[in-house]
Amino acid sequence: PWREKNKKKGVSIDESAADDYETKNSTKWLLNKNSFKLPMKISLITDDDLRSIFHGSWGDLEWINYYRRFPESRGFVMLSRIGFNTERTQALVYVGSRCGPGCGDIHFLLLEKANGVWTTKKAIRNKSFG
């Protein structure tokens, strides 16, 4: 549905980028913790971990259970795999975060590469919780 919606808004998403995004994100993919070079401690959790805590509800009780299980956490970040167009000049990615009831945001981004630099061309979908 986002393909049609954004065509109407004049957003030009290369079909090969959309197809690559959908193909890559149609299957589960395990991340390697060593791939992240961050100045903080991280834990990788799965969709199944989140489902076992939240059961589709983002209420206070579920967040209490989340922070009991991950006491040093400030919430979590969700990342999609990146879908690239054939020329690798356009990319689609989903980034979201949640930190409590009514706290977090989601971004579905269209990125473009020009002169060797990636920039956000359009935030296709943004939503803040809180």
Q: Could you read off the pLDDT of 33-42 as tens digits, one per residue?
A: 888 888 888 8
State residue 10's pLDDT score. 64
Backbone angles phi, psi at 89, to 5 degrees: -115, -5
Q: Could you read off the pLDDT of 49-78 as tens digits, one per residue?
A: 999 999 888 899 999 999 999 999 999 999
- Dihedral angle of Cα 30, 99, 126, 110, to the nearest 10 degrees: -30
Angle at 26 (CA atoms; ends 24, 28), nearest 5 degrees: 85
Cα–Cα dist 31/14, whole Å: 27
Backbone angles phi, psi at 57, to 5 degrees: -120, 135
Q: Would you state the structure tokens that stand for residue 77, as one six-digit string? A: 């970040």
Cα–Cα dist 103/111, whole Å: 25
Closest Cα partner for 17 from 103, 117, 99, 112?
Answer: 112
pTM, two decimal places: 0.81
State residue 89's pLDDT score. 97
